[in-house]
Amino acid sequence: MCGIIGYCGPRAAGEVLLDGLKRLEYRGYDSAGICVGFDNALTVVKSTGKIAHLRGIVPAALPGTYGIGHTRWATHGVVNDVNAHPHTNQAGDIAIVHNGIIENFSVLKEKLISEGHVFRSQTDSEVIAHLLSDFYEGDLEAALKAVLHLLQGTYGIICVHAQEPNRLVGARNGSPLVLAVGQNEMFLASDVMATLAHTKQVVYLEDGEVVSITNDAYHISELRGDKPISKKVEIISWELENIEKQGHSHFMEKEIFEQPESILRAIQGRLDPENATAHLGGLNMSNTELRDIERVKIVAAGTSFHAGLVASYLMESVAQIPCTAELASELRYRNPIVERNSLYFAVSQSGETIDTLSAMRELKRKGARVLGICNVIGSSIAREAGAGVYIHSGPEIAVASTKAFTSQLAAFYLFTLLISRMHNMSFEAGRGFIQNLSSLPDLVRQGFEQQNHIRALAEKYSHYRDFLFLGRGLNYPVALEGALKLKEISYIHAEGYSAAEIKHGPIALINDETPSIFLVPGDSLREKVISNMKEVKARRGKVIALCVADDEEVKNTADDIITIPKAGEMMYPFLMVVPLQLFAYYTALKLGRDVDQPRNLAKSVTVE
């Protein structure tokens, strides 16, 4: 979602802010701006479009060593220069940047207008700047606290006042905000990516906390009261080169090809061949507690939901434990029933997905045991769950998730192995599962040998406007994920279905203008899927099939094939999804799309 950054220090703030905003581009945005303070005045520069355009209109020698910046993803108000952040009060001596949604802004705005305030934008955020000017009596922190008591909704806010140079004040409620501690300089940001080039020392703020920073000090307190809060300074383990393209054309391309390594990181040190099981110490559960689990429920959104669907098939078939995956956005408003001896997983790459975070909080209020599966260390879900599994995928910059999906799968496969060995899985079966899981990095790497062939197929089919993705069993969720990837970055309409469901409606869409992509691994449902392929061919539909290299029947039925290495039956979701990611990537490339930052999308959805 939107990105924010604030800086106090000895350097030229404009350049620091622009660099930070550039590193936040991956979150998705439609406009951007900065505000820099100097000589008891604030200078605001903002515009629609890319950071590169903003950089071009910011004065080359903009003076000032403190300021705030923002990348906006429109919620209230159209995309234009006026609605871009930062927003100021009428006098122009207060400026704010805001992530989130102020739900009662219209009431507040009407009252302010009746008192003589003149608004420039259509945004909900501008009311914060006007309210600050009403409450300001020489202390920006006190003014912000007074304003926050009036706001209903979510926010990550940073504000600045021209009369308090080299000071920023920030607060969070439902939208992430992190303090980064440098050498004689301080930062506030919505994401550690914005500050990683300057420092690895960070403090994660919690909801209801207010922070004030100067060049060399910070003060954190509760919204209600002035008592200081002592917080632990965390050290970020990612290196700056991890968030660079490293010779690739796009971050998405880089992240697709990083998957052998990211899968290895997810499983490394967690497999125990000697006992044919897995170690997941982060669960903070004893063997007795794990043994007593009677059902598992997975809560997630988007790509993480598809990973959860694969896990639900896997856990039921291997561990013989009832398991379901649910959309967090639906569960959070459904008054869910929490059953005894149930274990919940909240799954999110960023750990900040608002629907998943809110669903997790609702479940915990009802007494559920909720574990997190996250990529970002220190994220809200990771902190509030208090236990779970980090997938160690490394920074994922492209909006369309790729390596996080396979790493999430790896985490679920480890958990399935662990709990299966406590129930019905024999020692030998456990050893076989470990061998199959350990072989995945090399098998995924072998799949890249199809890279040029997949690119040629993507170019061949790029002019079609509709696709069907079809799979069965464990690979049905992979079909959903393949369709999502094509939609996200190529803007081509695509739908994922169980291949068995094609006769229940979707077959009406089949014609020579709607290609079908079938997932046909060498598993127990192979014959069923081939039968569905033949039904499509009988209706003049074009078929692209993903299959193992020696499957002659599939080759003779499909118009085109993409081959994958042979593997254990349960491992095919890893090997099927990577070609689908590449197919989407090369299709988008052929169509000239903005692959890393597709239109209307954000990397982390932090508002409803």
The 3-state DSSP composition of the chain as helix, strand, coil percent (nearest 5) reads: 40, 25, 40
**Token reading at 559:** 């118009």
Backbone angles phi and psi of 123, in degrees to 5: -80, 160
Give the β-pairing of 178-181 and 155-161.
Answer: unpaired
**Token reading at 577:** 């999804």
- Residues with catalytic annotation? 2, 603
- Distance, in Å, from the CA atom of 396 to the CA atom of 404, rounded to the nearest integer, reads 7
CA 232 to chain centre: 25
Collapsing DSSP to helix, strand or coil, 568 comes out as coil
Beta bridge partners of 296: 323, 343
Peptide bond into 86 cis (omega under 30): yes
* Contact call for residues 583 and 458 (beta carbons, < 8 A): yes
**Placement of tokens 């581009």 in the chain:** 25
Residue 356 DSSP label: H
**Token reading at 82:** 């006026």
* Contact call for residues 533 and 503 (beta carbons, < 8 A): no
The neighbour count for residue 335, using CB atoms within 10 Å, is 8
**Placement of tokens 């439902």 in the chain:** 174
- Which residue, among 521, 411, 515, 497, has the nearest Cα to 458 in the 3D structure? 515
Collapsing DSSP to helix, strand or coil, 173 comes out as strand
Q: What is the DSSP track for 2-54?
A: -EEEEEESSS-HHHHHHHHHHHTGGG--SEEEEEEEETTEEEEEEEES-HHHH
Beta bridge partners of 493: 466
